[in-house]
Amino acid sequence: MISIDAFSPILGHVFSHPLIGSYGLPHSDSTFGPEVQWLWDLWFWVSVFFTVLITGLAVFFCIKYRFRKGIREVADPSTDHNTALEITWSVIPLIIMMVMFVLGFKDYMNMQTPPSGCYNIGVQAWQWHWQFTYPDGAATNTLYMPVNTPVKFSMTSKDVLHGFWIPQFSVQRDVVPGRTMTVWVKAVHTGHFVLQCSEYCGDGHSEMRANVDVMPIPAFKKKLAQASDIWIHDGKILPLSVVGKKIAALEGCLGCHSVNGATGTGPTWKDLAGSHVKLASGQTVVADYAYLRQAILYPGHKMVAGFNNVMPNYYTTFGGAAHKKHRKLDAIIWYINTLSSHANKASRPPVPDYPGKPAAPRSASPKKIAAAAPKLPAAAAALALVAEGKRFYASMGCIGCHTVNGSPGVGPTWKNLAGSHVKLTNGKTVVADYKYLRFMILYPGKKVVAGFQPIMPSYTDTLAGAKNKKKLDSLIWYINSLSDKASASAEPPLK
């Protein structure tokens, strides 16, 4: 029996002939090139063959059996059935389809299944931006790849469906929110290529491109070493505002926020810090440090008048307890301050722009940093509560029944719970605001979420009463931090 693998190089060779080869496909610079190309060509010529055959026959019969005076003016009664003919024209296409299926499926599985020893790159897609992360922690907007090395991509989307597509590598895979999609590719030439989102994902879809740089391995390693430390350049600690500018590019903020006064999908950052901002609620607030922090950590909480609630959630980038993340947030707020002529003491982060002393921010002990930290503004206090709530979530055992990533559990997931609409077993739909969340935690079984059993244990002795309020609130802060729908009414009040 002739295997497909023995077969494809022969056909590949035939189809690579310049008179026949690859209509409409770009030249391919990955190892998938040949297999994709000869398949494409095979189906192209199968289609040409049948198009010519069928239209040719149709035209031929039109002429041959056209109406002529005196010759068979009345049509013969048509035969209603010809078994041999019908079997033939069913079985032949079936065989062709099966061949198409087997060959296509084989290549599909090949792209789906990374060989062992792949280099791993994480891909995050969101409106309208790509970010790549490498095993050593570096993150970039340009996709850097080592040449002649199989690279496995683990891809997630923060919002809607996107598509990871590098036409010149003959590779495409959808990036589906809520799932980790994988694909791999081995580039065979160094050079510059383009990655493009292949799923229509909103206003900025056509801008959702990234450069792809395939490099020799030593150059690749050097590039990563540079990219992995955003805080330092040539051995010197960078001012936070400079780091902030890098982060703004890296995180895609600049796709929606201009720095020159132009209105984009989001408000411009020019002259924002320290200015008066009109909110959709009709209030006017001052864009001080606490406001800017909150605008970044909890987009949609306080909507700026005239804009839509489309800013992605950056909580995982800037929020949480990690010191480095706080530092990143401060860096970006420093950058926003440098863009404003209204910037003042209240709008600047409480840490100096120039670190001054050579102690690298990463090497200082967390205790020292905490001791040196100025009084936390409101948003930072909320952050501390979120971190506390996360600890209670584990230590009190909520973790056993409630997932935080959207996957099903014994109880409803906490992902996107705060601020959402919840259907109860009594047929009512309620909004998961602060009052509701409190009630559900303090009185399990009184109201029951549709589709679940009333088996949640009672936590009255550990969570009820004034002395436990902070504990309960921190859990609710944590639930809030997990939701894209969270709004002020879902948050515990901060006094």
Angle at 235 between CA 234 and CA 240, to 5 degrees: 90
Least distance in angstroms from the C-beta of 144 to ligand HEC: 22
Closest to ligand HEC by CB, 183 or 339: 339
Instruction: Count the neighbouring beta carbons within 10 Å of the beta carbon of residue 91.
Output: 10
Least distance in angstroms from the C-beta of 477 to ligand HEC: 11
Chosen from ligand HEC, Cu ion, none, partner binding at 385 (C-beta under 5 to 8 Å by type): none
Chosen from Cu ion, ligand HEC, none, partner binding at 201 (C-beta under 5 to 8 Å by type): Cu ion
Closest to ligand HEC by CB, 161 or 277: 277
Q: Using the 8-state DSSP alphabet, how is residue 344 labeled?
A: -
Binding mask 175-214 for Cu ion (x = CB under 5 A): ----------------------x---x------x------
Query: DSSP assignment of 444-460, as one string?
Result: BTTB-BTTS-S-PPP-H
Spell out the long-range contacts of 23-30 with Cβ–Cβ below 8 A and sequence spacing 24 or more. Answer: 25/170, 26/167, 26/168, 27/168, 28/168, 28/169, 28/170, 29/168, 29/169, 29/187, 29/188, 29/189, 29/191, 29/193, 29/214, 30/166, 30/168, 30/169, 30/170, 30/171, 30/185, 30/186, 30/187, 30/188
- CA distance to 66, 387, 463, per residue, from 476 (Å): 81, 11, 12
Q: Which residues bind ligand HEC (CB under 6 A)?
A: 127, 251-253, 255-257, 265-267, 272, 277, 287, 292, 295-296, 299-300, 303-304, 307-312, 314, 332, 396-398, 400-402, 410-412, 417, 422, 432, 437, 440-441, 444-445, 448-449, 452-457, 459, 475
Chosen from ligand HEC, Cu ion, none, partner binding at 195 (C-beta under 5 to 8 Å by type): none
Closest to ligand HEC by CB, 20 or 410: 410
Closest to ligand HEC by CB, 111 or 256: 256
Least distance in angstroms from the C-beta of 93 to ligand HEC: 47
Q: Is 245 in the site for Cu ion (CB under 5 A)?
A: no
Least distance in angstroms from the C-beta of 479 to ligand HEC: 6
Report the candidate in 151, 122, 145 with the shortest Cα–Cα distance to residue 191. 145
The answer for residues whose C-beta is within 8 angstroms of residue 26's C-beta and 6 or more apart is: 167, 168
Least distance in angstroms from the C-beta of 348 to ligand HEC: 14
* Binding positions for Cu ion, rule: CB under 5 A: 162, 197, 201, 208
